[in-house]
């Protein structure tokens, strides 16, 4: 697939094909093209009957045994149904979408890359493009056409539960990556989706789906700027944010979508809503659909309520609330993307080159992920030159994240909220497995060894050093927020609550309060006279003053993904630390909710860009 410049989409060589097809489509088929159900709620027969334009998999929604062959078979059935032409149905290939945000981590055996915050620490745009290409190959191996990536949020508050989906608090770094990841994905055959338009990383207090309160100049400088290189690289789709700007929901924000994105910035692809994103816009579902369509959204992610969406939107068109011209524009954009991406010219999924490809989860792909792990690590402390570790030394390895591939992968891995343990992560290495491979004198105790009771401080008197791997459990979206729990508030008829309703991960960024076992283990080992190297596995910077003071060495490993051996590569000095903090590191919890600014400004323990080296 070739990258299609945004400014040329509408005037491209396929415009004539789009218009010819558009002239033949009925209103029912037009609305069907604008509709995206979730796979559990729509059958292939319904795809044909309702002329569905796209189907998606939500987190953890997978066919069969969750292997590439199962995905190819499922997508082949949907594609075949969409292409069965008769008197009542035109053949328009279905576009299937997934959240392949750090590799195609939905599928067992995939290569799983570090989450974006770690890639931001790496500071390597060329690596980002290669990651895009590998991800695209593994998405294509499952017969899938579209990934809801990259996330171009600029995370300004680590209390936000989606912080790890952001490359950095610095819009300049996010912008450096934006075009490269889009090119990597799309030139390797997968439609990319820049998200979430716009300002989701700047909400007050870092509350997921909250309100970004700032003037337009700051919004443009901080949150819109990273989209410019993505559009210049030809990104074909953009997803709207579930958040608000100054109290107005982005999903109904005509100025941001129609005027700025499509008009001023010249975006010619199509705009897709987020999961049930139109529900809070109005109490009446038909009114909500009309407001969102008129605001400029072209395709609607309506996982379960797609039938109500189709009926409600058709009624609004027939009443004249939604102009037919707006429907035609939306469908033309969807068709344009399907033509531009080569979807009309591809064979059915099972016959495509790359389907069920042997490169899926291959050593070559995992080598790129391992490189990304090495480059993402940030060294925060190295007292007395404890690092690099000696491969011949007696090394105790412990901590709850030491031998847990699920934990080191984080959210959006196999399941929406991620998984713990090693069983569901097929392939790759835990951090312990990486250490064991290079240090024959290393021993695992209390970090998933199955023998040491959880929380016990191991006897370390016979060891030269200890590596303690601690950090957060997997989470995604609002369940990762740091805030006080909120009562469930009444929402619209279709949404049982609003921003902040999901139970948060905790009410503090302080690791000693969230996971006291970490500090207990570090101090217990230090008291035995053993130098401790702490490796922190987390989706954001945490307040770790006490753990840092008790450790001789301290490494921020972020969420490294499936290739934990990359951590050992650097701990033992085969490679130097090159990572730099993509966000300032807080020395204490932010005071007050803030206004979307940098969390804890003036309280940074380490500044943005900090990172030690061994040499």
The catalytic position among 274, 279, 298, 563 is 274
Beta-carbon count within 10 A of 363 CB: 10
Q: Which of 181, 211, 339, 176 is nearest to 270 (CA)?
A: 339
Map tokens 């007696």 to a residue. 394
Q: Count the alpha carbons within 13 Å of 370 in the hemisphere toward its beta carbon.
A: 22
CA distances from 268 to 80, 97, 338, 363, 508 (A): 28, 19, 13, 38, 42
What's the gap between Cα 236 and its chain centre? 18
Note the maximum CA span of the chain: 81
Residues 6 or more apart from 399 whose CB is under 8 A from it? 446, 447, 467, 468, 469, 470, 518, 521, 535
**Lookup: tokens for 47:** 């795809």
Q: For residues 227 and 175, what is the distance between their CA atoms, to the nearest angstrom?
A: 7
Q: Which of 273, 255, 272 is nearest to 264 (CA)?
A: 255
Q: For residues 39 and 132, what is the distance between their CA atoms, to the nearest angstrom?
A: 25
CB 584 within 8 A of CB 552: no
What's the gap between Cα 326 and its chain centre? 30
Q: Count the alpha carbons within 13 Å of 178 in the hemisphere toward its beta carbon.
A: 30
The catalytic position among 477, 481, 547, 569 is 477
Q: For residues 288 and 315, what is the distance between their CA atoms, to the nearest angstrom?
A: 12
Tally of residues, the chain: 615
274: annotated active-site residue: yes
328: annotated active-site residue: no
Q: Which of 273, 268, 258, 272 is nearest to 336 (CA)?
A: 268
Q: For residues 372 and 608, what is the distance between their CA atoms, to the nearest angstrom?
A: 20
Omega within 30 of 0 (cis) for the link into 548: no
Beta-carbon count within 10 A of 601 CB: 13
Strands (E), 41-131: 54-56, 95-98
CA distances from 552 to 428, 431, 537, 548 (A): 28, 19, 17, 8
State phi, psi for 350 to the nearest 5 degrees: -70, -20
Q: Which of 151, 161, 125, 169 is nearest to 585 (CA)?
A: 169
Omega within 30 of 0 (cis) for the link into 562: no
**Lookup: tokens for 279:** 């529900």
Map tokens 């072209």 to a residue. 298
Map tokens 């990572």 to a residue. 579
The residues carrying an active-site annotation are 274, 477
């Amino acid at each position: 697939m070739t990258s299609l410049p945004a400014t040329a989409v509408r005037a491209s060589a396929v415009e004539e094909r789009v218009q010819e097809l558009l002239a033949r489509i009925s209103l029912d088929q037009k609305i069907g093209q604008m509709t995206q159900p979730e796979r559990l709620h729509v059958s292939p027969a319904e795809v044909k009957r309702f002329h569905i334009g796209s189907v998606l998999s939500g987190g953890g929604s997978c066919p069969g045994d969750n292997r590439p062959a199962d995905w190819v078979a499922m997508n082949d059935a949907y594609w075949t149904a969409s292409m069965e032409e008769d008197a009542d149905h035109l053949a328009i290939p279905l576009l299937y979408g997934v959240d392949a945000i750090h590799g195609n981590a939905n599928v067992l055996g995939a290569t799983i890359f570090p989450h974006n915050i770690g890639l931001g620490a790496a500071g390597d745009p060329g690596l980002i493009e290669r990651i895009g290409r590998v991800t695209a190959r593994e998405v294509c191996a499952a017969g899938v056409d579209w990934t809801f990536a990259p996330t171009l949020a600029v995370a300004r508050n680590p209390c936000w539960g989606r912080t790890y989906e952001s490359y950095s608090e610095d819009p300049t770094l996010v912008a450096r990556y934006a075009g490269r990841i889009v090119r990597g994905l799309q030139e390797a055959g997968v439609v990319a989706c820049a998200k979430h338009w716009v300002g989701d990383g700047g909400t007050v207090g870092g509350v997921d789906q909250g309100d970004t309160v700032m003037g337009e100049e700051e919004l443009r400088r901080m949150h819109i700027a990273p989209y410019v290189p993505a559009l210049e690289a030809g990104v074909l789709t953009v997803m709207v944010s579930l958040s608000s700007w100054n109290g107005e929901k982005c999903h109904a924000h005509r100025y941001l979508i129609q005027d700025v994105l499509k008009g001023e910035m010249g975006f010619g692809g199509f705009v897709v809503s987020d999961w049930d994103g139109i529900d809070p816009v109005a109490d009446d579902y038909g009114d909500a659909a009309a407001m969102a369509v008129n605001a400029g959204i072209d395709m609607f992610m309506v996982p379960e309520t797609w039938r109500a969406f189709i009926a409600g939107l058709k009624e609004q068109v027939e009443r004249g609330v939604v102009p037919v011209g707006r429907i035609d524009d939306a469908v033309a954009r969807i068709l344009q993307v399907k033509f531009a991406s080569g979807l009309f010219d591809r064979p059915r999924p099972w016959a495509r080159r790359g389907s069920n490809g042997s490169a899926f989860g291959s050593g070559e792909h995992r080598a790129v992920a391992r490189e990304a792990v090495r480059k993402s690590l940030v060294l925060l402390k190295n007292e007395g030159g404890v690092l690099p570790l000696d491969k011949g030394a007696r090394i105790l390895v412990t901590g709850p994240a030491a031998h847990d591939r699920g934990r080191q992968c984080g959210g959006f891995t196999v399941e929406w909220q991620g998984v713990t343990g090693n069983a569901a992560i097929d392939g790759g290495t835990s951090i312990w497995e990486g250490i064991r491979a290079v240090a024959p004198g290393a021993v695992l105790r209390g970090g998933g060894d199955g023998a040491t009771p959880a929380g016990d401080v191991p006897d370390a008197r016979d060891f030269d050093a200890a590596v303690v791997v601690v950090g957060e459990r997997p989470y995604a979206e609002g369940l990762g927020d740091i805030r006080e729990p909120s009562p469930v508030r009444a929402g619209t008829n279709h949404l049982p609550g609003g921003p902040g309703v999901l139970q948060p991960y905790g009410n503090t960024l302080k690791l000693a309060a969230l996971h006291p076992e970490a500090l207990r283990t570090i101090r217990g080992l230090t008291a035995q006279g053993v130098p401790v190297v702490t490796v922190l596995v987390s989706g954001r910077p945490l307040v770790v003053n006490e753990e840092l003071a008790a450790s001789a060495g301290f490494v921020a490993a972020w969420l490294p993904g499936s290739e934990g051996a990359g951590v050992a590569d650097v701990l033992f000095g085969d490679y130097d630390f090159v990572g730099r903090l993509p966000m300032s590191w807080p020395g204490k919890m932010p005071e007050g909710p803030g206004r979307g600014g940098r969390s804890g400004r003036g309280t940074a323990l380490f500044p943005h860009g900090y990172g030690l080296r061994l040499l």
